[in-house]
């Protein structure tokens, strides 16, 4: 998925995003992710993003 596309992704869509997809998400993308979206993000994913 292009970064530009992901950054403008609707919140509803991102919340239902598969874990496999999110795990491979670039850090730049995650940084611009809305807080509401991140709150619903699996812990496993968030830990990897921090690393």
Phi then psi for 45, rounded to 5 degrees? -65, -50
Give residue 8's pLDDT: 55
Answer yes or no: are the C-beta atoms of 28 and 36 closer than 8 Å: no
Give residue 11's pLDDT: 55
- If one counts the domains in the chain, the total is 1
**How far apart, in whole angstroms, are the C-alpha atoms of residue 1 and residue 40?**
20
Token pair for 3 = 């970064």
Helix (H) / strand (E) containing 38: helix 35-39
Residue 42 domain boundaries: 3-50
Q: What is the mean predicted confidence (pLDDT) over 1-13? A: 55
**How far apart, in whole angstroms, are the C-alpha atoms of residue 3 and residue 31?**
12
């Amino acid at each position: 998925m292009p970064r530009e596309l992901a950054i403008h992704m609707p919140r509803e869509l991102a919340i239902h995003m598969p874990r496999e997809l999110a795990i491979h998400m670039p850090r730049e993308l995650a940084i611009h992710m809305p807080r509401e979206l991140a709150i619903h993000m699996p812990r496993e994913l968030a830990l990897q993003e921090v690393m």
